Structure 1
Amino acid sequence: MQRHSPTPSWTLQPTTPDTIDEVVTFMNHARQDMFPTLSSQLPDDVARWVQSGYFLTARNETQLIATIGYVPYDHRFPQLDYRTLRTVEVVRLFVLPEHRRGGLATALVSALREHARGEGVECLYLHTHPFLPGAIEFWEKRGFQIADVEEDPVWRTTHMQLML
């Protein structure tokens, strides 16, 4: 397991037209790893997202090792009213297991937040689930607050927000 070092062994880069296919493949594999039964039931929205939003990747010397992005929020959750705020939805934070616990996810979130702020975004929204180990705590440590928790006994979708 890689540990945090003063000099990161990775670089952050925005997704470009030349890297879209690689990024989509990486994110789809990550989704399949995290949600094996669900990934075969849902349509593939990743390619559309990468083209409509802003995505960052992290690479080491040899490969793509992490992603994060945001897309325009689509107002699909009626209990959340972001209509008066310029809101984007943070999606697809994934770090390969062997590159976790070294500050990479934090660096990705920070870079994404700064880009959003520069674009005039007022609210970062995301949702996660309690069955993803450490996810809620991770986002809370980065300033996100819980906006709602759905009562569904399986998913308990936890909606979170960060006002910029």
Structure 2
Amino acid sequence: MDIRPAAPDQIPAILDYVMAARASIFPQLDATQVPDDLARFDEVYLGSDQGCFLLAWQEGRIVGAIGYLPYDQRFSQLQLTARDTVEVVRLFVSPSCRGAGVAKALYAALLAQARQAGVATLYLHTHPFLPGAIAFWQKQGFEVIDVESDPVWQTTHMRLDLGAASSRSTRASS
């Protein structure tokens, strides 16, 4: 398995992969509606210093994906500042590769990229109906900061503080 950043010429394959994964995991969502971040993939993930998208490749095909983008303050109940906070999104692993450490490897590569970029806080949300998702993120050091009471989604908000000041000083001294 090889993990590397997304490239502009891969965008059509990335969108196919992510939209198919999203449709299988979230059948209640409209599979024809492309989310804004994906519709503006180049701008959001490749053209911004607060965006990152990584792919796991195996035998010439995408087997996993993960990204981060600037946090947009859309959850008013959360006490997160937009400055130096990014939202971890689009972690998908092909069913044939689940349980093989792909998600952990993708996240480790994303974390390294975030530290290098001077990110202070990683934010994400997930849902209890996704098997193992909350436990996975807690093992990576994330803490639950809010759980919404909606009976369908029960959106679970999580964060991880990175202490970006120390990563910036490390980068500056390199």
Normalising by structure 2, report the TM-score: 0.84
Structure 1 equivalent of residue 48 of structure 2: none
Structure 2 equivalent of residue 37 of structure 1: 28
**Root-mean-square deviation (CA), in Å?**
1.5
Distance between the aligned counterparts of 1:20 and 1:84, measured in 2? 27
Q: Aligned partner of 1:48: which letter?
A: R
Structure 2 equivalent of residue 101 of structure 1: 99
More helix by share: 2
Distance between the aligned counterparts of 2:43 and 2:132, measured in 1? 29
Mind listing any 5+ residue stretches in structure 2 that lack a counterpart? 45-50, 163-174
Q: Aligned partner of 1:44: which letter?
A: P
User: How far off is 1:40 after superposition?
Assistant: 3.5
Q: Aligned partner of 2:39: which letter?
A: A
Query: Would the alpha carbon gap of residues 14 and 84 (structure 1) be closer, same or farther in structure 2, given more than 3 Å must change?
Result: closer
1:117 and 2:115 aligned: yes
Normalising by structure 1, report the TM-score: 0.89
Structure 2 equivalent of residue 150 of structure 1: 148
Identity %: 51
The structure, 1 or 2, with the larger RCO (C-alpha pairs under 8 Å, 6+ apart) is 1
Distance between the aligned counterparts of 1:158 and 1:131, measured in 2? 11
Structure 2 equivalent of residue 67 of structure 1: 65
Distance between the aligned counterparts of 1:99 and 1:56, measured in 2? 16
Distance between the aligned counterparts of 2:116 and 2:59, measured in 1? 29
Q: Aligned partner of 1:147: which letter?
A: I
Structure 2 equivalent of residue 27 of structure 1: 18
User: How far off is 1:93 after superposition?
Assistant: 0.4
* From 23, 39, 50, the counterpart of 1:47: 39
Q: Do 2:11 and 2:41's aligned partners in 1 also have CA atoms closer than 8 Å?
A: no
Q: Do 2:73 and 2:82's aligned partners in 1 also have CA atoms closer than 8 Å?
A: no
Q: What is the DSSP-based 3-state SS (H/G/I as helix, E as strand, rest coil) of the residue aligned with 1:36?
A: coil
Distance between the aligned counterparts of 1:114 and 1:159, measured in 2? 22
Distance between the aligned counterparts of 2:42 and 2:99, measured in 1? 26
Q: How many residues align?
A: 155
* From 6, 17, 20, the counterpart of 1:15: 6
Q: Do 1:14 and 1:56's aligned partners in 2 also have CA atoms closer than 8 Å?
A: yes
Distance between the aligned counterparts of 2:152 and 2:42, measured in 1? 28
Q: Aligned partner of 1:160: which letter?
A: M
Q: Do 1:49 and 1:71's aligned partners in 2 also have CA atoms closer than 8 Å?
A: no
Distance between the aligned counterparts of 1:25 and 1:51, measured in 2? 18
Distance between the aligned counterparts of 2:41 and 2:84, measured in 1? 17
**Cα distance per residue 1:83-126 (max 9 Å; x no partner):** 26410000000000110111111010011011011111000000
